């Protein structure tokens, strides 16, 4: 295992993994520091000479993929779980960055024995159009799976309905739209408790600011729970799970909500629409459309029977598509097919 040092390092070591620290900064843009990080990847690969290199998230895929072409690496698995804020941001700077990142992806995914994993067909098609991968060097795996024995189906609890947003507090996750719906409901006298579950992410340029979060809390329209480890318990105490994101790979929160039997409301964008069965396990709304989001949430609030049916359908979807054991087997199949 190789990553930026953090609180998970000691746990990984205790599980028997050999751990290597890489000085990665997810939002860093200093070219000298980024080149130094790339050299760290290169040094580790020459030292370890891995039979399989499994790269996850944007910078490891880019830096590790390029380094793998310069080092003795048997096969490469590049897990592209999402496109990051560069592909959802607007403006000239974002457009220029997308062009640079596209070139880097074409280089990074050029190893002669490589398989790229995508979580939705839109992302896969985009990379094929960019010339970064071909269809026969890529596969589709729907998310990272969920442990169905930990995320169990539970009936809804009685009382004032609870509407939950569980994700990093990023504007491109739609958190501001979620809060605006809570504000509308308060003004319209619609009874529901809105709660935010998740941390700010200062490394991400779209993160909610401390003052903005403090203002939301002072208004009394949302309850802020911060980061929570036991998401299954959070969903057991919720009636509806909402993720109004601008784009995803395949959001784990929607998979976990489905496993717990909760109806969801999410946006009709790549990744989010792939995670649910529209009008069966949840509702889709246009992205950045606060009024449509409010209408969908209100529809579920007013129909406990619809929520129950959607929750049951979500659990069936999770059992059919998202069981962690099935996801693991799909990854092991890729390792075998790389022939190393």
User: Which tens digit of pLDDT belongs to each residue from 2-20?
Assistant: 998 887 888 899 999 999 9
Flag whether pLDDT at 192 surpasses 70: yes
How far is the C-alpha of 59 from the C-alpha of 108, rounded, in Å?
10
How far is the C-alpha of 90 from the C-alpha of 205, rounded, in Å?
12
Looking up tokens 């004032």 gives 160
% of the chain exceeding 70 in pLDDT: 96
Flag whether pLDDT at 147 surpasses 80: yes
Q: Are 260 and 237 in contact (CB under 8 A)?
A: no
Helices (H), 109-203: 121-130, 175-188
Among residues 29, 47, 255, the alpha carbon closest in space to that of 141 is found at 255
pLDDT-wise least confident of 81-95, 251-265, 284-298:
81-95
Amino acid 339: pLDDT: 80
How far is the C-alpha of 300 from the C-alpha of 120, rounded, in Å?
27
How far is the C-alpha of 222 from the C-alpha of 217, rounded, in Å?
6
Flag whether pLDDT at 289 surpasses 70: yes
Q: Return all residues near 278 (Cβ < 8 A) that are at least 6 apart.
A: 268, 284
What is the residue-averaged pLDDT of the chain? 92
**Please, which pLDDT band fits residue 28 given cuts at 50, 70 and 90?**
confident
Q: Which domains does the chain have, with CATH numbers?
A: 2-145+324-337 (3.40.50.2000), 162-321 (3.40.50.2000)
How far is the C-alpha of 268 from the C-alpha of 272, rounded, in Å?
7
Amino acid 114: pLDDT: 97
Mean pLDDT, range 149-173, rounded to an integer:
94
**DSSP codes, 21-56:** E----TT---HHHHHHHHHHHHHHHHHH--SEEEEE
**Please, which pLDDT band fits residue 87 given cuts at 50, 70 and 90?**
low
Among residues 176, 185, 87, the alpha carbon closest in space to that of 130 is found at 87
Amino acid 96: pLDDT: 75
Flag whether pLDDT at 91 surpasses 70: no
The pTM assigned to this predicted structure is: 0.88
Flag whether pLDDT at 256 surpasses 90: yes
**Please, which pLDDT band fits residue 228 given cuts at 50, 70 and 90?**
very high
Amino acid 98: pLDDT: 75
- Classify strands 240-243 and 263-267 as parallel, antiparallel or unpaired: parallel
Q: Return all residues near 113 (Cβ < 8 A) that are at least 6 apart.
A: 74, 75, 76, 338, 339, 340
For 166-187, write each residue's pLDDT tens digit. Answer: 999 999 999 999 999 999 999 9
Amino acid 325: pLDDT: 95
3-state SS assignment for residue 128:
helix
For 257-266, write each residue's pLDDT tens digit. Answer: 999 999 999 9
For the record, the structure tokens of 176 come out as 């501001």
Looking up tokens 């790979």 gives 249
Q: Return all residues near 95 (Cβ < 8 A) that are at least 6 apart.
A: none
Q: Are 84 and 105 in contact (CB under 8 A)?
A: no
Q: Are 259 and 236 in contact (CB under 8 A)?
A: no
How far is the C-alpha of 26 from the C-alpha of 206, rounded, in Å?
13
């Amino acid at each position: 295992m190789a990553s930026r040092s953090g609180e998970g390092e000691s746990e990984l070591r205790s599980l028997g993994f050999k751990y290597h620290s890489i000085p990665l900064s997810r939002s860093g843009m200093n070219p000298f520091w980024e080149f130094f990080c790339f050299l760290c990847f290169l040094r580790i690969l020459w030292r370890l000479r891995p039979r399989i290199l499994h790269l996850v998230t944007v910078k490891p895929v880019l830096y590790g993929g390029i380094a793998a072409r310069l080092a003795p690496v048997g096969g490469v698995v590049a897990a592209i779980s999402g496109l990051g804020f560069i592909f959802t941001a607007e403006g000239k700077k974002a457009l220029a960055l997308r062009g640079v990142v596209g070139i880097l992806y074409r280089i990074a995914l050029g190893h002669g024995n490589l398989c790229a994993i995508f979580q939705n067909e839109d992302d896969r098609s985009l990379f094929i159009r960019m010339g970064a991968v071909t269809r026969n060097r890529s596969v589709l795996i729907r998310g990272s799976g969920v442990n169905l024995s930990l995320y169990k189906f539970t009936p809804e609890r009685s009382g004032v309905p609870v509407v939950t947003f569980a994700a990093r507090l990023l504007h491109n996750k739609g958190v501001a739209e979620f809060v605006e719906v809570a504000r509308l409901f308060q003004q319209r006298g619609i009874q529901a408790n809105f709660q935010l579950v998740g941390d700010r992410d200062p490394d991400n340029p779209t993160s909610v600011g401390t003052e903005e979060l403090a203002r939301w809390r002072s208004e009394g329209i949302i309850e802020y729970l911060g980061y929570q480890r036991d998401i299954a318990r959070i969903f057991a105490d919720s009636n509806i799970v909402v993720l109004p994101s601008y784009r995803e790979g395949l959001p784990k929160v929607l998979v976990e909500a489905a496993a717990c039997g909760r109806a969801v409301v999410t946006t009709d964008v790549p990744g989010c629409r792939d995670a649910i069965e529209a009008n069966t396990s949840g509702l889709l709304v246009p992205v950045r459309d606060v009024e449509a989001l409010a209408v969908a949430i209100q529809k579920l609030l007013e129909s406990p029977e619809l929520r129950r049916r959607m929750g049951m359908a979500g659990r069936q979807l999770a059992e059919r598509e998202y069981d962690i054991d099935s996801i693991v087997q799909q990854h092991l199949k890729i390792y075998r097919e790389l022939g190393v």
